[in-house]
Amino acid sequence: MVPLSYYLLLSGFLFGCGVIGFLIKRNIITIFMSIELMLNGVNLSFVAFAAHWHALSGQVFVFFVMVVAAAEAAVGLAIIIAVYRTRETLNVDQVNLLKL
Amino acid sequence: MNFHLILFSAFGAVCVAGAVNLLAQRHPINSALSLITVMAALAGEYLLLGAEFVAAVQVIVYAGAIMVLFVFVIMLLNAGEEEETKGSRVAVMFGVPGMLIGGVLIAWVVLRHSGTEAVAIGALPGDPRDIAQLLFHNFLLPFEVTSVLILIAIMGAVVLASKPESQGKVD
C-alpha cells in the first residue's frame, strides 16, 4: 500500500522539474518539452486523487488534459517552425522582437 | 516493504531519473528521449493505480503521437546543442534555489496534511466501459467542445507551418 502523499510528491517533483526546465533552458523546443512534463505531473496527481476518492471523473479530466496537450503540441510546434523560418535560430534569447 | 511499494519506487525512480536527465542534457533529442522515458514510467504508475485506460492513452497519445511530433520537429529544424547565455545563468542562479525552497515547502505540507490512508493497488473501480459511460453521458458537452478545439488546432497548425507566400516581402 502506497500512501497518497507519495504520489503527490512524485507529481510535484515532475511539475517542479518542468518549471526549472522552463526557466533554465534556452532552446525553444526543450522549453516546450518542459511544459509537457508539467502537464504529466498534473495528470499523475489527477489519477492519484481519482483512485483515492474512488471518483472516476478524475480519469476523464486526464483525458481532456491529454486532448488539450495534443492540440497545444500541434500548434506550438507549428509556431516553432514559423519562428525558425523567419529568425533561423531556436535560442529564445535571440527571439526578442515581435516584428522583424 | 511490500510489492506495491517496490513497484511504485521502481517506476518513480525511472520518472525522477528521466526528469533530471531532461534538465541535464544539452541536446534537444536527448531531452526528448528522456521525456519519453518519463511518460512510459508514468504509464506504469497509472497501471499501479488501476487506471488502465489512462495508461493506454498515455502510451499511445503522449509517448507515441506527441513525442513523435517533437522528435520530427527537432530533426526537421536540425536543432543543435544549446549555448549558455547570460540569461540562462541568471535563471539558474535564482530559479533553482527558489524552486528547491518551494519544493521543500510543498513536500512538508503534503506529508504533513494529507494521505495517511494508503491507495490500494488497482484502487480505481473503473474499466474503460465505465469511463465511456461517464465521458459520453456526463461530459458529453466538453467532449464535443474538444472536437472543435482539435479541429481549430489542425487548421492553425496547417496555416502556421505552411510556407509563407513571398509576395510583398523584401529579402
The pLDDT tens digits of the residues spanning B50-100 come to 888 899 999 999 898 999 999 999 999 887 777 766 666 777 787 778 878
A54 falls within a domain: yes
**E runs forming strands in chain A:** 2-3
Query: What pLDDT does A76 receive?
Result: 93
B116 falls within a domain: no
Please give the mean pLDDT across all residues of chain A. 89
How many domains does chain A fold into? 1
One domain for residues B78 and B130: no
| CA atoms within 13 A of residue B111's CA, in its CB half-sphere | 9
One domain for residues B69 and B5: yes
CATH number for the domain harbouring residue A53: 1.10.287.3510
B5 falls within a domain: yes
A98 falls within a domain: no
One domain for residues B134 and B74: no
B12 falls within a domain: yes
Does ipTM exceed 0.85? Answer: yes
Q: What is the pTM of this model?
A: 0.87
Range of the domain at B40: 1-82
Question: Residue B91: in which H helix or E strand, if any?
Answer: helix B86-113
DSSP state of B61: I
Is B52:B72 a contact under the CB 8 Å cutoff? no
Please give the mean pLDDT across all residues of chain B. 84
Is B22:B31 a contact under the CB 8 Å cutoff? yes
How many domains does chain B fold into? 2
User: In A, residues 3-62, which contact B (CB 8 Å cutoff)?
Assistant: 3-10, 12-14, 16-21, 23-27, 29-30, 32-34, 36-37, 40, 43-44, 47-48, 50-52, 54, 56-57, 59-60, 62
The backbone region for B57, taken as left when phi is positive above 0, alpha when psi lies in -120 to 50, beta otherwise, is alpha
If one counts every other C-beta atom within 10 angstroms of the C-beta of residue B70, the result is 25
One domain for residues B71 and B134: no
